[in-house]
Amino acid sequence: MEAIVEVHAYIMFFLVAIVMFVFTALACVVYDFWWKDEPEETRRDSLVASKVVHCTWLEAVWTLIPVGVLVVIAVPSFALLYSMEEKI
């Protein structure tokens, strides 16, 4: 039972970090679109789409980071699953 609680806490760390990142990114996007409604003189320069679109290294990063997170979560989960298996 202790191992299950430890794996749960381990996975919750990643879950909270991912949720915080997603909500922060969402807040930045919402703020940026809200800021575009302001007059030209008072708003800062907004994001330029050409810097984000067709960026090969960025696409590789946002593909490899979730794969890495899933592997880091899967290894202890499989170890726990193996240790919980009843021997016949």
Rounded Cα distance between 47 and 33, Å, is 10
Q: Which residues contact 69 (CB under 8 A, 6 or more apart)?
A: 14, 18
Q: What is the pLDDT of residue 13?
A: 92
pLDDT, tens digit, for every residue of 34-86? 666 556 555 555 544 555 567 788 788 889 999 999 999 999 999 888 888 86
Asked if residue 23 has pLDDT above 90, the reply is yes
pLDDT at 22: 92
Task: Assign 19 a pLDDT band (cuts: 50, 70, 90).
Answer: very high
Predicted TM-score (pTM) of this structure: 0.64
Kindly state the tokens that stand for 38.
């302001």
